[in-house]
Amino acid sequence: MKIITYNVNGLRSAISKGLYIWIKNENPDIIALQEIKTFPENIGTMDIEMLGYQAYWFPAKKPGYSGVAVFTKLPPQHVQYGCENDVYDNEGRFILLNFGDFVFINAYHPSGSSGEERQVFKMKWLDYYLDYVNQLKKQYPKMILSGDYNICHKPIDIHSPEKHEHMSGFLPEERAWFDKYIETGYVDAFRIFNQQPHQYTWWSYRANARAKNLGWRIDYHIVSQEMKKHLKNSVILSDVMHSDHCPVVLEIE
């Protein structure tokens, strides 16, 4: 089974750049999108349904902002929209699909780069999220938690780490949170298969950063320890360019 996470930074924009053609050719079983920035009624669902997918949407209340969606060829037994907190659910940050054998979560974690207020919001979200998924894990031991985490976990995950220690996305408290996350029973799937540096999933639009591969790895498939034995491979598709992010593939069996 092939699962993809992809922050499209505006679904309508990504579609105009050939996203659906790429999905048809890549043919994932499940694709999780973040930052869709639209409502399904604004783009229609027929095109993705014609490719064999059921589409589940959780947009933000605010137009043109945030939002997540999951397209799946595997019918879920149950879909949960949101994480039972209106503050976060109004921003369309969390959707859960229960496939029976495992639970899949697609989350778009906040960025704190716009200022102190949003950084505080981000840290509160991170604590809430970890408590919430740990409670879920008691009921659903086999979990895949994919999405844009907006954090580089380790120095290997960001270019020039010494220059970014005071920037949101690589702050000590964010990285400490990620350490705690992993220690409570999770695995960074990509790093099981690839320990090489310079593996990034997001690049600034400034200073020709993508061409120079001056990037950040902030998009992840995190899996519970109980799911680890099912992992087959994980790769970053850095040459796919519908967004300032790129897709990350997880293969399971």
Residues that are catalytic: 148
The DSSP 8-state label assigned to residue 109 in this structure reads P
Side chain identity, residue 199: Q
d(CA 202, CA 68): 17
- The answer to whether residues 171 and 145 touch, using CB atoms and an 8 Å cutoff, is no
- The answer to whether residues 143 and 136 touch, using CB atoms and an 8 Å cutoff, is yes
- The answer to whether residues 217 and 152 touch, using CB atoms and an 8 Å cutoff, is yes
3-state SS, residue 159:
coil
219 beta partners: 148
Q: Could you tell me the two tokens for 7?
A: 């922050």
Of the candidates 210, 209, 207, 205, the one whose C-alpha atom is nearest the C-alpha of residue 238 is 210
Map tokens 């695995």 to a residue.
Answer: 187
The DSSP 8-state label assigned to residue 221 in this structure reads E
3-state SS, residue 251:
strand
Side-chain-side CA neighbours of residue 120 (13 Å): 3
Q: Could you tell me the two tokens for 217?
A: 């790895």
d(CA 234, CA 136): 24
Max CA distance (Å), the chain:
47
3-state SS, residue 150:
coil
